[in-house]
Amino acid sequence: MKKIIECVPNFSEGRNLEVIRQITAAIESVEGVSLLNVDPGASTNRTVVTFAGAPDAAVEAAFRGIRKAAELIDMRKHSGAHPRMGATDVCPFIPVSNVSWGEAIECARQLGWRVGEELKIPIYLYEKAAPDPARSNLAVIRAGEYEGFFDKIKEPAWKPDFGPAVYSEKSGATAIGAREFLVAYNANLNTRSVRRANSVAFDVRENGRVKTDDGTPAGKPVLDENGEPVRVPGKLKHVKAIGWYVEEYGMAQVSMNLTNLEETPLHAAFDACEESASQRGLRVTGSEIVGMLPKKSLVEAGKHYLRKQRWSEGASEEELIDIAIRSMGLSELKPFDPKEKIIELKIEEASAKSLVQMNLRQFCNETLSDSPAPGGGSVAALMGALGVSLGGMVANLSAGKRGWDERLGYFSGWAVQAQRFKDELLFLVDEDTAAFNKVMAAFSLPKSSAEEKAARAAAIQQANKYAAEIPLRVMETAAKAYPLLAGMAENGNPASISDVGVGLLALRSGLEGAAMNVRINLGGLKDEDFKTALGVKLRKLRADSDTEFQRISAIVESKLA
Task: Tell me phi and psi for residue 184, to 5 degrees.
Answer: -90, 120
DSSP β-ladder status, 174-178 and 123-127: parallel
Specify the 3-state DSSP secondary structure of 251.
Answer: strand
- Rounded Cα gap, residues 260 and 8, in angstroms: 17
* CB contact at 8 A, 201 and 241: yes
Residue 535 CA to residue 543 CA, distance in Å, equals 12
**Rounded to an integer, what distance in angstroms lies between the CA atom of residue 475 and that of residue 478?**
5
- CA–CA separation, 334 and 267 (whole Å): 19
CA–CA–CA angle 488, 471, 425 (5° rounding): 45
Residue 111 burial class via C-beta count within 10 angstroms: exposed 0-12, middle 13-18, buried 19 and up = buried
Contact indicator for 189, 285 with CB cutoff of 8 Å? yes
Q: Give the Cα separation of 244 and 276 in Å (integer).
A: 16
Please indicate whether residue 432 is annotated as part of the active site.
yes
Q: Is 82 a catalytic residue?
A: yes
As a whole number of angstroms, the distance between CA 387 and CA 313 comes to 19
Measured distance CA(268)–CA(418) in Å, rounded: 26
Q: Which strand (E) or helix (H) includes residue 113?
A: helix 101-114
CB 523 within 8 Å of CB 501: no
In sign, the C-alpha dihedral spanning 464, 466, 472, 474 is negative
Burial of 276: CB neighbours in 10 Å, binned 0-12, 13-18, 19+: buried
**Candidates 82, 238, 423, 544; catalytic one:** 82
Cα separation, 419 vs 317, in Å, equals 8
Query: Is the peptide bond between 9 and the residue preceding it cis, with omega within 30 degrees of 0?
Result: no
Q: What CA–CA distance (Å, rounded) separates 513 from 520?
A: 11
Q: What share of the chain is helix, strand, coil (3-state, %, to 5)?
A: 55, 15, 30
**Residues pairing with 39 in the sheet:** 48
Q: How far apart are the first and last CA of the chain?
A: 41
**Residue 47 parent element (H or E):** strand 46-53
Query: What is the Cα Rg of the chain in Å?
Result: 28
DSSP class per residue in 509-526: HHHHHHHHHHHHHHTT--
Q: Where are the beta strands (DSSP E) in 70-215?
A: 88-97, 123-127, 174-178, 183-189, 209-210
Catalytic residue among 89, 271, 430, 432: 432
Peptide bond into 374 cis (omega under 30): yes
Q: Which residues are catalytic?
A: 82, 432
